[in-house]
Amino acid sequence: MSRYKIVHTTGFKYEADVAASYNEARLLPVRDDRQIVFSTKLDIEPHGSSHEYFDYFKTRTLMFEVLEPHRELTITATTNVELRNPMPETPTLDWPSMAALVVSSLELTDAVAQTKRTSPPADLVRFAKRIAKTNSPHETALAVCAKVFSDMTYRHGVTGVHSIATEAWNNKIGVCQDFAHITLGALRAVGIPARYVSGYLHPSKQPQIGETVTGESHAWVEWWAGKWFAYDPTNDVHVLERHVVIGRARDYDDLPPLRGVYAGPHQSELFVSVQITKEG
C-alpha cells in the first residue's frame, strides 16, 4: 500500500489577450478497487465556471470556460491517492474463447480496433504473429512488451505529442506514449484487446517518504484475455506500487490531460509540471 500526493500544473500562455477559452481537463485519477482517491482539488486561473462528468471511457473530465480576456490559463490539480496492490491475476483465456467474446462487447471491440496512432509496423506484427502461434494471448502480450522494451530507446524531444507508432518504431526512439502506442498496435494486430492507460509514475524505484520529486505524465497498456492485465512496456515492469491511473481508452487522443479551443488568432504555448510526493 502506497500513498501519493500529486500536483499537476498545466496550461497555456498566449501571445496576446484571448477573449474566451473552453477546455477539458483529464487530470483526476479514477476511483476503483486498486486506487482510493482521498481528495482532489482543481484550481483554474483565471476563475471560470466548470462542470465535471465521466466521459465515454469513464475518465473523470472537467469542462471549464474562461470568458474574460486572459493571457495565461493555468489549471492545477492536486490529488491524494492510495494504491492497493493485489498481485494481478494472470489472464488465462485461449485465442478462440477470447475472439468469441470480443464480437459481442463494444468495450473489447474498441480495444482491438487500430487507430491512426496505433497502426502497427509490419515487422512487429510478423513478430507478434509468430509468437502467437505457439503461445497464449497473455504470453504473447508479455513477449511483445519485452520486444518493444528491448528494441526501443527511451528519449525525450524526438517525438511530439502527435507522433504515431510506426514513426517512432522506425526511428526506434520515443517516449512512454510511443511505447504504449506501438505495443497496442502489435497486440491488436493479433486480436488481443488492449487499451491505452494514462497516469503518473513515481520516477524513483525506491521512493522516499515525504520527498517531493518532479515527475511527469506516464502511459502504459492493459490487455484483456478474460480479465484486464496492466503492464508498463516503457520500463518492462508490472504495474504495481508506483503507477497512478487517470484513465483508459483507445489511444492518447481519447484522454489528453488538457484539450480545448480559444478565440484566436494568437499563438498558444503549453506548459506542464508534475510534482509527486510519496506520503505513506
Q: What is the binding site for other proteins (CB under 8 A)?
A: 10, 12, 19-20, 22-24, 49, 51, 53-57, 63, 65, 67, 102-106, 108-110, 113, 161, 254, 256-265, 268, 270, 272
Q: Tell me how far apart the alpha carbons of residues 224 and 213 are, in angstroms, rounded to a whole number.
A: 33
Closer Cβ to other proteins, 36 or 99, answer by number: 99
Residues facing 257 on adjacent strands: none
Q: Tell me how far apart the alpha carbons of residues 120 and 189 are, in angstroms, rounded to a whole number.
A: 7
Closer Cβ to other proteins, 120 or 207, answer by number: 120
Q: Note whether 13 and 258 are within 8 A (CB).
A: no
> What is the Rg, in whole angstroms, of the alpha carbon atoms belonging to the chain?
19
Closer Cβ to other proteins, 67 or 209, answer by number: 67
- Smallest gap from residue 23 Cβ to other proteins (A): 8
Q: Give the H or E element holding residue 52.
A: strand 50-54
Q: Tell me how far apart the alpha carbons of residues 182 and 154 are, in angstroms, rounded to a whole number.
A: 13
- Smallest gap from residue 21 Cβ to other proteins (A): 8
Closer Cβ to other proteins, 226 or 260, answer by number: 260
Q: Tell me how far apart the alpha carbons of residues 187 and 175 are, in angstroms, rounded to a whole number.
A: 19
- Smallest gap from residue 259 Cβ to other proteins (A): 5
The string over 180-194, giving b where at least 16 C-beta atoms fall within 10 Å of a residue's C-beta and e elsewhere, is bbbbbbbbbbbbbbb
Closer Cβ to other proteins, 203 or 256, answer by number: 256
- Smallest gap from residue 55 Cβ to other proteins (A): 7
- Smallest gap from residue 197 Cβ to other proteins (A): 17
Q: Are strands 173-174 and 153-154 parallel, antiparallel or unpaired?
A: parallel
Closer Cβ to other proteins, 230 or 274, answer by number: 274
Closer Cβ to other proteins, 225 or 258, answer by number: 258
The string over 228-261, giving b where at least 16 C-beta atoms fall within 10 Å of a residue's C-beta and e elsewhere, is bbbbbbbbebbbeebbbbbbbbbbbebbebbebe
- Smallest gap from residue 264 Cβ to other proteins (A): 4
**At a CB cut-off of 8 Å and minimum separation 6, what does 65 contact?**
20, 21, 22, 23, 48, 49, 50
- Smallest gap from residue 50 Cβ to other proteins (A): 9
